[in-house]
Amino acid sequence: MSRYDLGREELAALLCDEPAYRVSQVFDGFYRRLAEPGELTDLPRALRDRLELAPSLASAFRRVAESVADRGSTLKWLLETSDGKRIETVLMRYRDRTTVCVSSQAGCAMGCSFCATGDAGFGRQLSAGEIVEQVVIAARRCRSERWGQLGNVVLMGMGEPLANFEAVWTAVQAMNRDLGLAARHLTISTVGVVPGIRRLAGKTLQVNLAVSLHAANDVLRDQLVPLNRRYPLAMVMEACEQYRASTGRRISFEWACIEDVNDRSSDASELAALARPLGAHVNLIPLNPTPGGLSRGFRGSARSRVLSLQAWLKESGVNATIRQNRGRSIDAACGQLAACGSLVAARRAAAPESP
Ligand code: SAH
Ligand code: SF4
């Protein structure tokens, strides 16, 4: 639990003996000023002390470690919940834009074969407040670093957001309504949980949707993404079409480029055949090394091949961008979040030549 599991009404109930304006002061303190209870110095001392002692207003996390990469522009926090679960949150700054990558679950049950979070298995669902508090931690840091307002939130950390739909959606609403982040700056990434995509399609708050595709035929996708056996590509595409039709928003497809597995011209043609009718944008991410991926012989595509993929897609009428590889040296890049200090060692042991 986190103090951000309490919205305005719950705070009012907790502080029912205080006048309404005090409740508003506390609410604004938490959500607008991003303050800890002890920092609310405009409140009477007695109330501040009471807030500091209330178990439901405690912080959700103990900060176990902070790692820094990319000359200070990528930060990764290892956070521990009160019941001892570890999650990771990554803040990235690129030129004048900041993006925080937050976790939606401790671990992940989806078991994708190239992802460290999948290797680590499922811990538990995060509460809405635990998801929001990661954003608050990042926004506070942006402020203290003088990086300006936090720009974007991507639910691309540990876990599958649409397998924790209620909490994720409550968190997204709080980010928008209470933290003041525009919906177009919020992105949910899914491995293809079809019922979740359909539910998103019915929402009026229009966040961005990224679908982690990685393969454009069921044979290969069954191997890379076990969930494909439950929700095969045709079903995922149908749900994407429904999302596009009802929201009018462009979907993006995430594609982790794996050497000789999904980076050939035939892969580009298959991907283009899915992306073009939807008007989807493709994000090409050179596969980041993980112990599980390495043990299966997966290697990231060479830069030249990623560029070729981009060019082949363009010839087929599909726009693709190449995602910058941020935070690799601190295992903060896509798919490397495992909340486990031994990951670096495991990776080095498996591939001594890797960076
Ligand atoms: N579970 C969600 C969101 C978290 S994973 C999802 O799968 O979409 C965030 C992104 O990192 C996804 O696009 C995922 O496919 C990608 N990813 C996972 N492992 C990776 C790796 N080893 N290298 C590059 N990208 C990876
Ligand atoms: Fe889970 Fe996403 Fe990793 Fe797959 S890629 S195991 S869905 S976090």
Determine the pLDDT at residue 348.
34
To the query of whether residue 88 is one of the catalytic residues in this protein, the response is: yes
Residue 67, pLDDT > 70, answer yes
- For 114-123, b/e burial (b = at least 16 CB within 10 A) is bbbbbbbebb
CA distance 256 to 214: 6
Distance CA 127, CA 315 (A): 44
Encode pLDDT of 7-50 as tens digits: 999 999 999 999 999 999 999 999 999 999 999 999 999 999 99
- From CA 121, how far away is CA 118, in angstroms rounded? 5
217: exposed, middle or buried (Cβ count in 10 Å: 0-12, 13-18, 19+):
middle
Identify the pLDDT of residue 132: 98
pLDDT category, 353, cuts 50, 70, 90?
very low
CA of 6 to the centre of ligand 2 (A): 29
Ligand nearest to the CA of 282: 1
Residue pair 211/187 in contact (Cβ under 8 Å)? The answer is no
CA atoms within 13 A on the CB side of 328: 14
Q: Which pLDDT band, with edges at 50, 70 and 90, does 343 fall under?
A: very low
**Which tens digits make up the pLDDT trace of 72-131?**
999 999 999 999 999 999 999 998 899 999 999 999 999 999 999 988 899 999 999 999
Mean pLDDT over each residue of the chain, to the nearest integer: 93
CA distances from 252 to 16, 82, 104, 140, 215 (A): 46, 35, 19, 29, 14
340 has a pLDDT exceeding 80: no
Q: Is the pLDDT of residue 344 over 50?
A: no
Structure letter (DSSP) for residue 59: -
CA of 190 relative to ligand 2 center, distance in Å = 8
Structure tokens at 301: 């595509």
* CA–centroid distance, residue 106 to ligand 2 (Å): 11
Q: Is the CB of 257 under 6 A from ligand 2?
A: no
pLDDT at residue 118, as a whole number: 87
- The mean pLDDT of 213-223, rounded to a whole number, is 98
Find the angle CA(281)-CA(283)-CA(285) to the nearest 5 degrees.
170
pLDDT tens digits for range 156-181: 999 999 999 999 999 999 999 999 99
For residue 117, give the ligand 2 atom closest to its CA: 3
Per-residue confidence (pLDDT) for residue 15, from 0 to 100:
97
242, pLDDT greater than 80: yes
Residue type, 105: Q
Least confident of 121-130, 270-279, 327-336: 327-336
105 lines ligand 2 (CB under 6 A): no
The answer to whether the Cα torsion of 212, 217, 218, 219 is positive or negative is negative
User: Can you list the domains of the chain with their CATH numbers?
Assistant: 3-56 (1.10.150.530), 60-349 (3.20.20.70)
Distance spanning both ends of the chain, measured CA to CA: 37
- Active site residue: 142, 257, 334, 340, which one? 334
Question: 210 CB under 6 A from ligand 2?
Answer: no
Regarding the beta carbon of 108 and ligand 2, being less than 6 Å apart is answered yes
Confidence band of 3 (pLDDT split at 50, 70, 90):
very high
**DSSP class of residue 316?**
T
Q: Which of 88, 131, 156, 207 to mutate to test the pocket of ligand 1 (most atoms within 8 A of CB)?
A: 156
In whole angstroms, give the CA distance from residue 137 to residue 101.
12
pLDDT at 339: 67
Residue 355 has pLDDT above 70, yes or no: no
Q: Are strands 281-286 and 252-257 parallel, antiparallel or unpaired?
A: parallel
> Angle at which helices 265-278 and 303-315 pack, to 10 degrees?
50
Q: Which residues pair with 75 in a beta bridge?
A: 68, 91
User: Which position has the token pair 């968190």?
Assistant: 171
**Under a CB-based contact definition with an 8 Å cutoff, are residues 150 and 100 in contact?**
yes
